[in-house]
Structure formats: C-alpha cells, structure tokens
Homo-oligomer: A and B are copies of this chain.
Amino acid sequence: MDLTTGSAATKAEMVMRFVRQRISGRTLTPGAKLPSVRSLSGTLSVSTSTVVDAYERLVAEGAIVSRPGSGFYVANQAAPFSPAEAGPKLDRAVDPFWISRQSLESSEDSLKPGCGWLPPSWLPEEAMRKSLRVLSRAEPSSLADYGTPLGLYPLRRLISRRMGERGIEASPEEIMLTESGTQAIDLLCRFLIEPGDTVLVDDPCYFNFHALLRAHRAKIVGVPYTANGPDLAAFAAIVSEHRPRLYITNSAIHNPTGAVLSPVTAHRVLKIAEEFDLTIVEDDIFADFETVAAPRLAAFDGLERVIHIGSFSKTLSAAARCGFIAARPDWIEGLTDLKIATSFAGGRMTEEVVHAALSDGSYRKHLDTLRARLSKAMAEVTERLAAIGIEPVLRPQSGMFLWCRLPGETDAAEVARACLQKQIVLAPGNAFSLSQSAKNCMRFNVSQTLDPRIFETLKGVLKA
C-alpha cells in the first residue's frame, strides 16, 4: 500500500482503511490495542498528525475507542457510525444487521419488501385497541406489579392449548414467557452454550440467528436447506464431524425459503440428534400463518431434546413484545433463574394485552382473513416478479416470504444498495447465508411488495 503520496485527507483515509482491513480481517480483534500513533506513523511513513486524524475519525465512526492515558482500542462491537434518528446509513456493509437496521430505522415513507413483518393494516388493530381498553379497567396489580417469573398463567395455559392443537404436549408449567422470540433464543443460548461451542443453523436461515450467535461467540456451521427441511446427508455428515451443541431451525414455515419440514425429514433429524446428543431449538413464530399443519419436531420428540419457541409479533402485534419457551421442566427451572438474573421479570402489562387479544374470539377470524390475503398477495407478487425475470426458488404453501432468484448473475446486495437510494428496503440473499452462496437470491415479503413502484424500481435497477 502506498501511503506516501496524496493529500492529507486521502492519507488519513488510507490509514483508516489500513486499520479497518485489519479489524475486518481479525488481525485486530475487538478490544485489541491499536499501534501507538508514533509507531504507526513510522510503519506507514505518514506524519503523526495524519494518524491522529485517522484515529479520531475511526473513533467517531465507532470502529475504535479511545481510552485516555492508555491509547486506542478496537471497539467491542465494531460498527460504522450511523446517526440514530437520521435514518439508516446507506453504505453500511451488508452484514446481519443491514436488513434489521434498514427495516427498523427507515422512515415510514419507505417501501420495505425486505422486512420481516406485516403492515399494521394487516394486523388486528381493533382487537388490540379493545385489549388495551380491557387492561385499562383491570385490577391494580395488573397495572403496577411485576409479573411472575414464568409469566401470566392464563396466557401460558392458552399457549399450552394452542401447542396441543399442533400435537405438542406442554403443560403451562413447561412454558416460560419471554420478552420476544429473539429473547427466547438468546436465553436458550446463554443457558445451553459456552463461547466456542458449535451451533448449527440452516443455510439460508433468518439473518439475525447469525448476529445472535456471534454475540454468544458460538462457532456457526450451516446445513443446506431443501424444500423438505435440512439436507439429510449433509446434516448427518456435519453433525458427525462438528458435533454441534445446538441446532436452531424454523418449524412450520421456514425463513427465508417458505419451505416446510416433511415428516420423514423430521423423523430422521431427530434420530441423528439423538445419536449425537444434539439439542434442537425449534422456532415456530410463523405458526399462525399455516394453512396446512406441518410436523413439529417438538411433537415427535415430546420436549426431550427439542425446545419449542414462539411469539405473536408476526400475526398479532410487533409493538407488544411477548414470546415463549416450551421445554423440559428441569430446563425451565434453570431458565427461570437466568431470566430473573438478566431481566428480573417479564412485561406483565404486555402479557395481559396479548392474552386479551388472543382470547378474543375475533383472533381466529383475523387469521382466516390474513391467510387468504397472504395467499392472494403471494400469487400476485409471484406473477409480477416473474414479469421482470425474478423467479421463486420454491412456491410456499403459506406465509409471507417468497425466496427468489434474480436473473442471471445479478448480485442481490448491489440491487439492495441501489434500491435503498430510492427508499426501498430489500433483503439480499447473502444476509441469510452463512456460506455466502445466496448472492443472487432475494427474500420478498409479499405483504410489503404490493406497491407498483417496487417493480418499476427493481426493473430499472436490474437493467442497469
């Protein structure tokens, strides 16, 4: 690298790139001390003020931190700076946080075919309003007191019954409420894995599994996902070779592909899990989208080595955060202590609202309407995407996700970056793929892909 020519600003940028590359290449790991200003200025043959300038800009970006009197260190969570309320940063690397932050931070005017939830108008607004009014008249302790460690009993009983309908036997005492489906998996990772343990995920899988597992310093291994579940031969080989502690997967409707586990695959996966003492976390948050019930690993296994989790963010409300874990009683006991230590108690008020909304007879009707609406949107979006050369990898039975292949060798991340300039948030394939083998795939949420501007913009970007 030639750092000896060019303007001061350019030189500082080169120093910044030099440091950034060492951070991304893990030569400098989080927490590591950077070379002193003097030493780096010598190494790179630039002035000390250039290094100071570069370090200060890297501090502003959040890539490194300054500890006065001690020096500069790689930030624990190296991440490019983005002004919080000013909207997402456009040039952020397409990492697991890319879609999350674009979707969560972009303005309400943005179109979001890449996001993982329904538009508010598709959710049961009136049931939520009614439930809030019910809670506004509840007894004082529902408004003021901490919840119990396991969470609101009537809601756990209701979840137990719903699970029963899907063939999973779990008593309310085997169910613990959490703040969300994500928090459920997070607690389970804390409970079951040590830093350095290997965790198996589907490839592709929900991108936040990667981010979550990295936060736990797990070694992540991916298994190719097919139209019927994980590729069995690969699954057997990987489990035998890597001996993962945990396998995190979706049941019912797979994210992002919309695939459904077949009974024979479920059975084989469990047999292999048993042979190698593998624990499985089955994330069932899309359960209520199903039109035909798919097999559940937890139903076959009886919560022996399968832990079943879910939430209501997708079909009821994402504003009322509430998830659950169903697991063996001895695990629930340990998880309860961990929940107390790390969040003390659950959100009783939210649990009350969610319970009221789910107990309302209207919820089932809402689901019928929702499924019909999603099915119609799925057909429509499939057709409109096909017209611009974007074809589904498979046609999902139900749900909101359509996993597609872009024409030719198109790089989905490039398309996503270009569309973001036009306020359209997309979900490029490699964000879901540990092996980075989904470069020309894209996940579309059909409920958020009905605006004609999306297809016009995509068409233009694909042409260019």
* A182 interface hit (Cβ, 8 Å): yes
B77 touches A165 (CB 8 A): yes
Which B residues are CB-close (under 8 A) to A349?
Answer: 317, 319-321, 350, 353
Query: Which of A78, A145, A148: most chain B Cβ within 10 A?
Result: A145
How big is chain A's contact interface, by range?
A: 35 or more
* A411 interface hit (Cβ, 8 Å): no
Give the distance to chain B from A301, nearest Cβ to Cβ, in Å: 12
Which B residues are CB-close (under 8 A) to A352?
Answer: 319
* A214 interface hit (Cβ, 8 Å): yes
A340 touches B144 (CB 8 A): no
Query: Which of A86, A338, A347: most chain B Cβ within 10 A?
Result: A347
A135 touches B132 (CB 8 A): yes
Contact of A83 among B140, B173, B191, B334 (CB under 8 A): B173
* A348 interface hit (Cβ, 8 Å): yes
Contact of A361 among B57, B183, B211, B332 (CB under 8 A): B57
* A358 interface hit (Cβ, 8 Å): yes
Given contacts A320-B349, A350-B350, contact A191 B77 (CB under 8 A): yes
Stretch at the interface among A65-73, A228-236, A395-403, A422-430: A65-73
Given contacts A133-B132, A161-B79, contact A277 B67 (CB under 8 A): yes
A345-383 at interface with B (beta carbon < 8 Å) = 345-350, 352-353, 358-365
Smallest CB gap from A275: residue in B: B69
Given contacts A59-B330, A160-B79, A334-B62, contact A69 B319 (CB under 8 A): no
Contact of A319 among B123, B192, B215, B348 (CB under 8 A): B348
A316-343 at interface with B (beta carbon < 8 Å) = 317-321, 329-338, 340-343
A343 touches B186 (CB 8 A): yes
A331 to B96, CA, bound (A): 19
Give the distance to chain B from A198, nearest Cβ to Cβ, in Å: 15
* A80 interface hit (Cβ, 8 Å): yes
A interface: dominant SS: helix
Stretch at the interface among A19-27, A101-109, A250-258, A454-462: A101-109
B56 touches A319 (CB 8 A): no
B146 touches A318 (CB 8 A): yes
A244-277 at interface with B (beta carbon < 8 Å) = 274-275, 277
Given contacts A79-B337, A349-B317, contact A117 B136 (CB under 8 A): no
A27-84 at interface with B (beta carbon < 8 Å) = 31, 53, 56-57, 59-63, 65-70, 75-84
* A120 interface hit (Cβ, 8 Å): yes
Stretch at the interface among A149-157, A384-392, A413-421, A436-444: A149-157
Which B residues are CB-close (under 8 A) to A104?
Answer: 146-149, 340, 345
Which B residues are CB-close (under 8 A) to A148?
Answer: 85, 104-105
A340 to B79, CA, bound (A): 13
A194-223 at interface with B (beta carbon < 8 Å) = 194-195, 208, 211-212, 214-215
* A125 interface hit (Cβ, 8 Å): yes
A319 touches B347 (CB 8 A): yes
A162 to B63, CA, bound (A): 10
A191 to B141, CA, bound (A): 34
Smallest CB gap from A184: residue in B: B343
B165 touches A75 (CB 8 A): yes
Smallest CB gap from A164: residue in B: B77
Give the distance to chain B from A277, nearest Cβ to Cβ, in Å: 5
B68 touches A274 (CB 8 A): yes
A164 to B61, CA, bound (A): 12
Nearest 3 interchain pairs by C-beta: A77-B164, A62-B161, A77-B334
Q: What are 23 of the A-B contact pairs (CB < 8 Å)? A: A31-B194, A60-B359, A61-B161, A62-B164, A62-B330, A63-B161, A77-B191, A79-B157, A79-B160, A97-B341, A100-B149, A100-B340, A101-B336, A104-B149, A108-B141, A129-B143, A133-B133, A179-B321, A180-B344, A208-B340, A208-B344, A211-B337, A319-B347
